[in-house]
Amino acid sequence: MLLEKHTLIHLQEIKSKGRDTPYYWIKAAEAGTVPFTARYVIGADGAMSSCSLLSGLRTKQPGPTGYGLSRFSETGDEKINPGTLTFYPLPLLGGAGWSFHGSNWINQGVGGLVKLKQLKKAYNHLFRENQKKLKPVSWPLTFLGPLKRAGRDNLILAGDAAGLIEPFSGEGLYNTFKSAILASSALTRAEMENKEAGEVYNNLYREHFRKAFIAVLAGAVLLHGRSVIYPASLPRQIENLIENRLWFNRPFP
Ligand SMILES: Cc1cc2nc3c(=O)[nH]c(=O)nc-3n(C[C@H](O)[C@H](O)[C@H](O)COP(=O)(O)OP(=O)(O)OC[C@H]3O[C@@H](n4cnc5c(N)ncnc54)[C@H](O)[C@@H]3O)c2cc1C
């Protein structure tokens, strides 16, 4: 059964005497949806993850640690070179601005670990020419850091739900894909070895994310210090991060 565009509102673990493993009772918000059960749950529902709260792996909804602010717009300018990405280091705001193009559109934005008001100022300063016609949209950023445990019984959290945003660049896709691979291998191993998926996943999660996080955080602080002293180094450092070339990056499993 595949249910798309449904919103999880209820998740309950059922442990019954007659069964070795628990199962999950799941309910969606949409009218007419019948509750169903599942043997495994992978919570990949983002930074505001309901799964992490409903499963008790996180005890409260995280607040924003920063903001992003950006705008897509049509340019109609044929001279623009698609594929060019420009960074604007904003080290004192704990972030950066960016600008990249498609053939007839442009995305311009800023992100950082400060209040929205300060970022709006930075946006207006960087993209002065667009101030009047382009109102940017904003969104909260949550740099949570890895959880103590991201699995319990047969429930697993992956991606932003598991707090895997890279703290210097704000990139989350790499770790999201990495955690998805680890989650699927945990499920396979759990089936083969008759173990709980959460237990298998927690070991992988500890090894790949939690143990490495102190080094990742130290790396982020060093890179940040460097970009305060030498702002022009920021784009190269982000490139190094994306390419997995820094000493604190763990290789893909
Ligand atoms: C504007 C923006 C730009 C970004 N740019 C980059 C970038 O350039 N590079 C990079 O590496 N990272 C970037 N990130 C971060 C990256 O997008 C995330 O780290 C990544 O998308 C996390 O993937 P995810 O699947 O864990 O969560 P998400 O992509 O957040 O997906 C979660 C999904 O779960 C769904 N969901 C939530 N609650 C429920 C519910 N109760 N029931 C059912 N479904 C639910 C949501 O609708 C959503 O579809 C950016 C983030 C933002 C906001």
Average pLDDT score over residue span 31-47: 92
Q: Going by DSSP bridges, is the β-strand pair 41-43/155-157 parallel, antiparallel, or unpaired?
A: parallel
Question: How remote is the CA of residue 80 from the centroid of ligand 1, in Å?
Answer: 29
At residue 17 the predicted structure's pLDDT band, cuts being 50, 70 and 90, is confident
Predicted local distance difference test score (pLDDT) of residue 19:
67
Q: Do residues 244 and 251 make contact, with C-beta atoms less than 8 angstroms apart?
A: yes
| pLDDT at residue number 132 | 62
215 C-alpha vs ligand 1 centroid, how far in Å?
24
Query: At a CB cut-off of 8 Å and minimum separation 6, what does 101 contact?
Result: 75, 80, 81, 82, 83, 84, 107
Mean pLDDT of the chain, nearest integer: 88
On the question of pLDDT at 198 being above 90, the answer is yes
Residue nearest to atom 37 of ligand 1 (CA): 45
Confidence of residue 192 (pLDDT cuts 50, 70, 90): very high
Give me the percent of the chain exceeding a pLDDT of 70. 93
- For the stretch 68-96, pLDDT in tens is 999 988 877 666 666 778 889 898 898 89
Could you give the domains of the chain? Answer: 8-62+144-242 (3.50.50.60), 66-141 (no CATH)
pTM of the model: 0.88
Ligand 1 centre to CA of 62 (Å) is 15
Model confidence pLDDT, tens digit, residues 103-161: 788 899 999 989 999 999 999 999 887 656 668 899 888 877 889 999 999 999 999 99
Substitution site in 41, 42, 45, 244 for ligand 1 pocket (most atoms within 8 Å of beta carbon): 45
Residues 108, 244, 69: CA angle, nearest 5 degrees: 20
Q: List the residue whose alpha carbon is closest to atom 30 of ligand 1.
A: 46
Compute the average pLDDT of residues 231-242. Answer: 85
